[in-house]
Structure 1
Amino acid sequence: MSMPYVLAIVVLVGLLCLLDLLLTLAVIRRLREHTKLIDALYEVVGAGGLPASSGGTAVGEIVGEFDAMTVDGSRVTRDLLPGGTVVAFLSPDCNGCREQLPELVSWAAGQDRSRVLAVVDGRSGDPAHIVTALSPVASVILEDADGPVADAFKVTAFPSFFQVSEGGKVLARAPRVSRLPAGSPA
């Protein structure tokens, strides 16, 4: 190979590397913008600022009455929930639910099992992996997406997380457990 060809190849490779660097920097800038937008959304959600149309009992409201059985045969009602209980609504067909399951299991492992309730949609997909993962660390109810507990909480989207006081007053709600006051790291 003659020197001009080698020089041309070196210049071409250099230009391609420069183009790759510029594209990478553009992607990083865009990701930072999206992160800021998502963080702002989480702040609104964490403050209970979800619009009523987003579904779910609003912060300060009392959830409706319900009577359900856990997969291990325990009875759960609104009035039997201890204060500070976190109620998670999950569906096997929900990508966000599958992504957040390890975080929820890890968080719940450090909590009092009686204060963590997972309501799993049993009509869609295969709920067995969610039930199996959560059963050691939470009370688990398996019901249809429009079952009595989901109806009492007015849930229309998965995942949904609520923290309730004794008597069923919603203290907080969020799209992930880490955004609830109870789900925040100590």
Structure 2
Amino acid sequence: MGTLAGVALLFSLMALAFSLAVARRVTVVLKHIQEKDIPKRQNAVEIGSVLPTSDLVGSDGRRIRDGKEGPFIVAFLSVECSGCRAQAAELKKGVISVPGPRLVSVVLGEGEAADSFAREVASFSDVVSVGHGSKLVSDVGVTVWPSFVLCDEAGEVLWSTGRADELSSQEFSAPFKELIRP
């Protein structure tokens, strides 16, 4: 019985040593991340870039933004992006908490699938349909699909994310409500 107890004690000590080594490694990695001041999230579109509001033209040919409506949100959605469709419900929920018609959805794609997706999104936002190679998308520098950006009235990107659920977060809603205050 003594040998068996000794083996069990040895395994217990090895497990404890392994657990302490893992905990130490996690502590070192977290300290490194904090010292490097790595951001919590990557911006979907570079902050400070300017969205050319003159390029925001609906399918009926009318300009959607004329620079007088104040700050607005632009959602960059692609028909080929499964995450874009999946986040449409979150987008709609986030927009409900935002007063006024302040959402523009730029839908990338062609054909019936793009038209169908644009009609779906049009139930809660203005829609700009663009094809592949869109100058608007390349000028803004969209690298993440979907992307959601907050722009001031001149089109400067003030905040961006790749997640629609962040539109209803305090981090987003407080600055947005501050911008639209009369």
**TM-score, scaled to structure 2:** 0.61
Report what 1:67 is aligned to.
55
Q: Which amino acid aligns with 1:154?
A: G
Partners in 1 of 2:57 and 2:144 — Cα distance? Answer: 22
Is structure 2 residue 141 aligned with structure 1 residue 129?
no
Q: State the match for 1:141 in structure 2.
A: 128
> What's the RMSD between the two structures over aligned residues?
3.4
Unaligned runs of 5+ in 2: 1-38, 178-182
How many residues in Structure 1 have an aligned counterpart in Structure 2?
138
Answer with 174-183 or 96-105: which moved more. Answer: 174-183
CA distance in 1, matches of 2:88, 2:57: 22
Is the 8 Å Cα contact of residues 118 and 138 (structure 1) preserved in structure 2?
yes
Q: Distance in 2 between matches of 1:173 and 1:138?
A: 18
- Counterpart in 1 of 2:6? none
The answer as to whether partners of 2:54 and 2:63 remain within 8 angstroms in 1 is no
Is the partner of 1:162 in helix, strand or coil?
Answer: strand
Indicate whether 1:103 and 2:90 are aligned. yes
Structure 1 gap ranges (5+): 1-42
Deviation beyond 4 Å, 4+ runs, structure 1:
none
On the 8 A contact 2:77/2:105 being kept in 1, the answer is yes
**Change in 2 beyond 3 A, CA 1:176/1:81:** farther
TM-score computed with the length of structure 1 as normaliser: 0.60
In the TM superposition, what is the alpha-carbon distance from 1:81 to its structure 2 partner?
6.8
Of 105, 119, 122 in structure 2, the residue corresponding to residue 118 of structure 1 is: 105
